[in-house]
Structure formats: C-alpha cells, structure tokens
Structure 1
C-alpha cells in the first residue's frame, strides 16, 4: 500500500497472474488505490449531500485550444507542436451539484474575478430554473474565488462560500471527477481539426452528460435526481 502498487504491478514482480493477486488483496480487505488519498494513503471517505443545492462544487479547467487544421492528435506531435504556440487556452468554468451531479459549464476566455462572477450568476440562474436552491458553494483557493466581488455576489444571493484546504483538490472531488470526465469523453474523445469543431461538440456532450449518461454513483443520469430537468429535453 505504501508503494501504491496495484495487482498488475505486483503480479509482474511475483510472476503471478494479476487476477490471483487481486483475489488475495480482496481476501485481506485491502482498499483500492482509487479510494485512498494520493498524498497520505488514507482512505477517502466519500459523502453525498442529501438534497440538490445543499452544496455545489465550482472549479475551472484550463485546456489548450486546437489550432486551425488540427493539433497533435490529428497531425501527430511534431506537426502539432508547430501549430500549438499561438492557439491559446480555454477556461472551462464548471459548477456541479453534489447530490444530483447536475453540471453547468461554460467555455470562457480567462479566470479573472469578473469572468468567474459572471459565470456564477448564470450558473445560479440555471440551477434556480430547474428548481434547485443553492445553499453552499465549494471552491478551491484561486484568486478569483478569494476576491471581494465573489464574496459579495454570494452574500447577496444568500449562498454560503466554503473553500478547500490548500493543496487538497480531492476535497472538491465531484467537480474534479467531472473535469476528468469531460477531458476523456469530450476534449480528447476524437481528433478535432479546429477549436470551433471541438466547442460545437461541447453543447451536445453536456446535454448527454446531464440527461442520458449513466452515472454509477447515483445509478442513472443527473436528470434522474432533478425532476424539473427531466421534462426539458429528450
């Protein structure tokens, strides 16, 4: 456990089948590596809020834009690197409800306080439109979330603001998991030939995530836990 080795790596050193090692680890009730904190090795206790809006996780994911004609995924690394330098970045602002996993996201130009507060105004309005009253928001310690503009906006809305412990992003785990999902299933899902093509695909992907994609932790899509959402789209 201290070395953070899984069954496949252990089996290679012991000359055994990985399935055999997995059975032995299971027999001795060893915790899966995915369920432990990377820094301390302690088991991460996962909690879920009891109702929509009780806690909303907010974060920003920075991704490189795709240059015209495609990046390294479409053209290969040598050619892609030549095009990459002037493409810039997109900042994906995300808000994920803890209970339902319902997500509201926007692709924006930066992570300044004005941009972050503008995003949250629209996210808050979206959650309200589907019957979710936001009570608390959890963010990391980014500059935009420590600004007076952010503090005053949430205070005006009657929303409590909580911040994660420094250097402990797993505290904001549900939005961090959403970030990984959007990278795997949208941003890097296929070799886009332009940034506009990638962005056009985002709206459809987000709809699929909220309305149709099966989420194992809640045994269904987010729409299954938000009654007002299920009737909006098919």
Structure 2
C-alpha cells in the first residue's frame, strides 16, 4: 500500500514504464521521478513479467513465518475459547503464550469477540446479506407492557408504577426489515394472532413498494404458531409472490436483522424517554421510523441510512 510520501503510485509506475518504452535509459527516467535505479528496474521487471497487473501494490506479508505459533497449539487455543469461553489472559498461562499472542490468534480465527460466536455451540456466526432489496424480508413481533395513563414506574417511581401496571396487559410491535437495505416498517397491535400478522405483512409490502422495493421474494419468520400453522398467514406471501421460510428452532441469529432492529426499537423509541400514556408512546413510533429509515446512520451500511441503499440499488438495476 502506498504511503503519503511515496515517490511512486500505480499511476507513477505506469508513467515510468511508458517513458522507458520510448527508448529512454532507465537511469535517466529514475532520476526524473526521484527514485533509485534499482527501484526503477524492479518495476520494469514486474511489468515485463506480469504486464499491467505487475504495477499494482502487493502485500508485505512474508512467504514464510518460521516463528509462527504451531497449528496444533492454535487448534487447542481455539477449542479452549469455544468450549470454555476463556479470554486471552486466562488462555495464555494454560498454553504458555503471551496474552497479546493469544488475542492475535483469536482475531485471525474470528473468535476475538464472544458476540461473534454462537454461545451454545461456540461456532463462529456466519454473517450474510442478500444482494438486492426485497430478496428477503425478516418479520418478527416484540411484546411490550402497556403504559397506564399518567405514566408507569419511570414517571411515578418503581413501587407506584408497578401497582398501576399490573393489569394493563401488553402491546405487540410487529416489524418487517429488508435484509439488504435494513429498511424497516413497524405497527403496534393488541395481539399477535394470525389475522393480525397477515394484515400487517400486506401493509408492510405496500410500504416497501412506496419506498422503491417493488417485490418481496422471501419472508423469513421465527417458529411462532401464526407463522407455522395458520392458513391466513400462508396465503399472504403467496399472494405477494413470495416464499415463506422459517428459522431454525432456538436460533434467533438466523433472523438476526429484525432481532437487532427490535433492540434499536427499544433503545431509541420505547425506552428513549418516560411516556405518560400508552397512546403517547404509540404516536412516537412514526417519527422514530422516519428517522431510522431516512436519517439514522447505519454502521452495517457504511454510515448511510436504509433509504439511501434502496435508492442506490434501484439506480444499479435500472
């Protein structure tokens, strides 16, 4: 990789080759560009051997590393991490390695963060993302306790709020998230019955259409009864021209994008501030969704909001 004071970039190497090809001496061209004769000859040799590809930057990694930790030790280190979830400071004394070396090996194998692993099995979670908007939509329901008029425990205090909230029941937040763009749509309902889920999916599809996602190809849900057994639900994906798919049992990572959206929903809407009524919290959902889709920077999208990625994809496929 060229540094900021490099004499030659890829463009400079190409210019060096062009001048030498005109018949000028390599020594004269090297003096003009401010590099040594040996460096100039190196790039000429690479160009003659590999043509244009020889002028690109190469990795500085050595071909062999004699002092690298043996593969058997690395394998044992990874087993300790996956089976016992130990950190570098505890694995190091067991294997006689510095903690810094253990951390470097864990990073190399993708095990440096426990969040990257499936906790029961210790296997590295395979991240995936669909190639275009509408190819896969994640659907899920999040249950929230209702807020009594006048506020709950966040307004009145723990004891008073708990007594007022005991008979309030629950709201069910239905959400749909596009896998490629993270564009999201949510509604608050009083239940999670099959008819409610089916009607929500139709409205979610209509919302995605207004944002530029013309067709949903697959719908991914967990194994809740309305998604598994209900004929009312099964008919909606078919009407939309989409295929229904269920996650593996007890594997929320498969449906991870909507599960992560549910966390954002709680942090940036449901628990953002104390609400004095359930109606007030529900009314604030529309503003949150607009901010999330049109203004909120998403780390998985290179700092762009979801609607920007939808628009970029639309421009690419037109």
Q: Sort the TM-score into its range (normalised by shorter chain).
A: 0.7 to 0.9
1:66-215 equivalences under 5 Å are 66-132=147-213, 133-146=215-228, 147-215=230-298
User: Offset of 1:168 from its aligned partner?
Assistant: 1.0
Which is helix-richer, 1 or 2?
2
Partner of residue 221 from structure 1, selected from 305, 311, 315: 305
User: Offset of 1:221 from its aligned partner?
Assistant: 0.8
| 127-136 or 50-59: bigger deviation | 127-136
Distance in 1, matches of 2:87 and 2:141, equals 31
Unaligned runs of 5+ in 1: 15-19, 229-234
Number of residue pairs aligned between Structure 1 and Structure 2: 220
Q: Quote the residue 2:129 is aligned against.
A: 48
User: Offset of 1:169 from its aligned partner?
Assistant: 1.4
Distance in 2, matches of 1:157 and 1:39, equals 37
Distance in 2, matches of 1:196 and 1:153, equals 29
Maintained 8 Å contact 1:56/1:96: yes
Work out which structure has the larger RCO, using CA pairs closer than 8 Å and 6 or more positions apart in sequence: 1
Maintained 8 Å contact 1:53/1:134: yes
1:29 correspondence with 2:110: no
TM-score, structure 1 length as denominator? 0.87
Distance in 2, matches of 1:3 and 1:64, equals 36
Tell me the alpha carbon deviations over residues 162-182 of structure 1, each in whole angstroms, 9 at most, x when there is no partner.
000111111100000000110
Unaligned runs of 5+ in 2: 1-80, 313-318
Maintained 8 Å contact 2:211/2:307: no
Distance in 1, matches of 2:85 and 2:270, equals 29
TM-score, structure 2 length as denominator? 0.65
